[in-house]
Amino acid sequence: MKHRYTPLFLAALALSACGQSGKETVAETPPTAAEAQEFFERFNEQQYQVDLDQGRAEWVMQTYITTDTEYLSAKASERALNFTNKILEESKRFQGLELEGDVARGLHILNSDQSLPAPRAEEKVAELAAIASKLSSMYGQGKYCNEAGECKGLEELMEIMAKSHDYDELLDAWQGWRNIAPPMRADYQKFTELMNEGARELGYKDTGDLWKARYDMSSDEFEVEANRLWGQVKPLYEQLQCYVRDQLGEVYGRDKVPADKPIPAHLLGNMWAQEWGNIYPLVEPFPSEEGQQVDISANLQAQNYDAKKMFESAESFYTSMGLKELPESFWEKSMLVKPRDREVVCHPSAWDMDPAVNDVRIKMCTDPTEEDLVTIYHELGHIYYYLYYSELKPIFRRGANDGFHEAIGDALTLSMTPGYYQQVGLLGDYQEDAQALINYQMKEALDKIAFLPFGKLIDQWRWDVFAGKISPEQYNQSWWDLRTEFQGIEAPVARSEADFDPGAKYHIPANTPYTRYFLARILQFQFHKAMCDTAGFEGPLYQCSIYGSKEAGEKLAAMLAMGQSKPWPEALEALTGTREMDATAIIEYFQPLMGWLEEENKGKTCGW
């Protein structure tokens, strides 16, 4: 099948009438399809080495933060950005040329899939790379020191947010972490300006327009699609928010949590109020009795699970489906626990270091908790994607869309049912009845449903920043406006433009697009339902575990191996039989909880 570039891509590749010297350029011989093929092959060979060099430099910086490793990471990033600019410039020769298959698709991806678009001027590339490394390092080294000089890093502050029920202690930790962000503000503004310049040079209106283009649809079409998916799940979120607010009002007092106002953001068990699972004991629908308790963390600790054993448990789920074992180098080169002798970025991440030798790694500061166990299953989803598409050209070694990459591991976590935990010895004599089901679904919803509006608003804020709809003078106010609009939460104390609260969330200084996480929460249920059907499961969707299903594993592996070599609707169809993302599986999964919430919330003031 032949393919012509879209008008947007052709515009991006339009040849300049004049060279850098200002003199008229000499007309070139029209390029051929064979030359395009040769360029495509050469680019992929070079891309492999560039990715390897940059990955190693970034790995060392994140697992051993010093001024030296920050410098080396910035230089590697600078070289990578200059390489990308050079390749994009060379690709202009093939504008309008009718190309086939992989070459056409590869050049389209090359143009649109730039998370960090850089201006062409080398001095600006250097500046962009330096700011990117600086912002990431500032976040990784962030600490809160109180008036007594006692300092806490993010891990310690997150533990307070997760475990404390003291209003003032939570507020202190919440405010303290946000003190790391104001120094980022000026750098972030310049960072945005440089990325927008690079995006415009690629033919896009701004960086947000570029980020949305990676979904094989126009910017406007993608926003409509994201809003459609949010509309499908919004009623369930609104019922959950109403119930949680009422329960927190009983715990902290109606003066602190009014029945008709947004929830104070520091009371939801998480530094960013993005997932609320840690407050489950405060909002549990029915008091747990012996035999109904699902305390996986206590069982992990009682059975002396360390990081290695937790990762082995997760690997055994994937191999039970017929997927390959992790390479030995994974165990040798990953960072699975926090080192005692140096600063590191603890935020969990999976790394595709060297596909040629299956060098895949995870960086994580693991603790024996259910939250970390679920995170491990999620991160291994990335690792298995890396392993299965490793044979593809570098340009195709990525998820069908970036939501797919996040959804794979998340889909498998849905199989971590009470029945599964019993199978692997992490849960005792659990007996599910109507009340136990509502309790379990509440626990799930506090993470998976509570996250949805947060996942949607992060990039909504950035898209508006990139587009100039939010000026630098409105950064913080607009952030909180969106958090209230989407989540029904608010800052617990007055904030101003002297603050930069977006910078206290890893993905902002790290410049990681976030809509992928929103889409992943939709896709994981769609994937789960499809794999349960393939496995021949009969019964309520919430009871399904695909643990041990070779049939589901075979279908999953086939989709993973496609990478981004085909448009995402084709990959979606390969696993689910449909070409459209859809949230109805979420509604089906949580139907028991939705019915219970609607009944429980009758007579309450919902909304904000």
**DSSP secondary structure, 423-436, as one string:** HTTS--S----HHH
Residues 123 and 314 sit within 8 Å (Cβ to Cβ): no
CA distance 523 to 447: 15
SS3 for 14?
coil
Set 108, 266, 382, 507: catalytic member: 507
CA distance 235 to 594: 9
Residues 415 and 528 sit within 8 Å (Cβ to Cβ): yes
- Letter for the amino acid at 127? E
Q: With CA atoms as reference, report the closest residue to 558 among 579, 544, 572.
A: 572
Backbone angles phi, psi at 263, to 5 degrees: -80, 135
**DSSP secondary structure, 399-450, as one string:** -SSHHHHHHHHHHHHTT--HHHHHHTTS--S----HHHHHHHHHHHHHHHTT
Set 379, 406, 444, 490: catalytic member: 379
The token duo for 63 is 């697992």
- Known catalytic membership, residue 507: yes
Question: Which residues, listed in sequence order, are joined to residue 100 by a DSSP beta bridge?
Answer: 2
- Known catalytic membership, residue 538: no
DSSP E strands: which ranges in 224-337?
A: 263-264
Q: With CA atoms as reference, report the closest residue to 505 among 177, 61, 163, 262.
A: 177
Q: How far is CA 72 from CA 62, 127, 242, 272, in A?
A: 11, 14, 49, 31
CA distance 55 to 11: 31
CA distance 575 to 577: 6
Residue 254: Cβ within 10 Å count: 12
Using a CB cutoff of 8 Å and minimum separation of 24, what contacts does 174-180 make? 174/265, 174/266, 174/271, 174/492, 175/493, 176/144, 176/146, 176/152, 177/142, 177/144, 177/271, 177/504, 178/499, 178/501, 178/504, 179/144, 180/138, 180/139, 180/142, 180/143, 180/144, 180/503, 180/504
Residue 488: Cβ within 10 Å count: 21
Rounded CA Rg of the chain: 24
- Letter for the amino acid at 208? G
Residues 547 and 420 sit within 8 Å (Cβ to Cβ): yes
SS3 for 471?
coil
**In this structure, what is the dihedral angle of CA atoms 456, 106, 81, 210, given to the nearest 10 degrees?**
-30
Q: How far is CA 523 from CA 128, 323, 517, 519, in A?
A: 33, 21, 10, 6
Question: Which residues, listed in sequence order, are joined to residue 3 by a DSSP beta bridge?
Answer: 99
| DSSP single-letter state for residue 468 | T
Residues 213 and 8 sit within 8 Å (Cβ to Cβ): yes
Catalytic residues: 379, 507
